[in-house]
Amino acid sequence: MDKNTGRDGWGELHLSKIGTVPIRLHRDIPENATVKQVAVKKEKTGKWYATVAVEFGQEPPAKPNDPERVVGIDAGIIKQTHDTDGVAVKPPDLSDERNRLEREQRNLSRKEHGSNNWNKQRQTVARRYADLKRKRRDFLHKLSAYYAREYNLVAVEDLDAKGLMEEPGNSRSRASAAWAMFKRLLEYKCEREGTHFVAVEPAGTTKECASCGVSTDKPLWVREHSCPACGFEADRDANAAWNVLSRGLNQVGAGRSESTPPETALPADTVVSAKRVIERGSPCLKEPPTAASRQG
């Protein structure tokens, strides 16, 4: 019996030509669902998993028609996301998990290939890697679910994650950001929640001024946007997020958002740690931001 949920968490899976297999359920299958497919897979850790694909005719929940519940999201490395509501979410700190993985990989390299000790250590490495992957995916699941639930329209950059990985320098941080996974999770969760999902062209979102549209070149180390044409100043990522939202609204034919940031105003963006997202499942803060949490 699970002390948190109150259910035993066990069930049985009947497979053709194999028989009945006891399984531990991750979640209950809805009563009105029709099982379409079952995939059984053995992970490198030695554990077996069964993925059940179901189909049920449930309509997405109706949302109030609020034109202001729209958001643009700029994805990055220093900050996982920075949106037009001024919330910036830090990426999760997985340094401990990564260090444990590297330590076990070094131990594996010292074992004789193909020996019993090598096989045992290989499974240990696989468990460490699975732990790292699971925590990163859990963080992205909760972050994407928050945006899908809270907004009527979500606009993100259509980043070429694979192409960015091939560029020289900082490829490890790009891989850790998992932009492609975040976009994929966000897209299907928006469809489930009845939220409009828009992927826009990412080129120029950082250079373009969100207030007047004039492009200004700026190196990566410059973290503030200051437009020489209209004087609009903002955090670099906040400016990009507003451009993403404007492109998303134009793409769906809604025009430019009426809540465009005021000119010459430095936004007091709230930086939220990944720990808050993982623990609460939402980057929202109930208390006002402190001076230490402000960017700009």
Q: pLDDT digits over 127-143, tens only?
A: 998 898 888 889 999 99
**What is the band of 265 on the pLDDT scale with cuts at 50, 70, 90?**
very low
Question: CB neighbours of 244 closer than 8 A, spacing ≥ 6?
Answer: 72, 73, 74, 84, 155, 156, 157, 200, 202, 205
Give 58's pLDDT tier (boundaries 50, 70, 90): low
Structure tokens at 231: 């004087």
User: What does the pLDDT read at residue 125?
Assistant: 92
Dist CA 64 CA 218 (whole Å): 40
CA 230, 215, 251, 234 dihedral sign is: negative
pLDDT digits (tens, 9 = 90+) for 106-163: 999 999 998 999 999 999 999 998 898 888 889 999 999 999 999 999 999 887 655 5
| Cβ atoms of 269 and 241 closer than 8 Å | no
What's the confidence (pLDDT) of residue 273?
63
Q: What is the mean pLDDT of residues 77-90?
A: 86
What percent of the chain shows pLDDT beyond 70? 73
Mean pLDDT of the chain: 77
Residue 60: left (phi > 0), alpha (psi -120 to 50), or beta?
beta
Conformation bin of residue 142: beta by default, left when phi > 0, alpha when psi is -120 to 50? alpha
**Domain definitions of the chain by residue range:** 10-55, 70-295
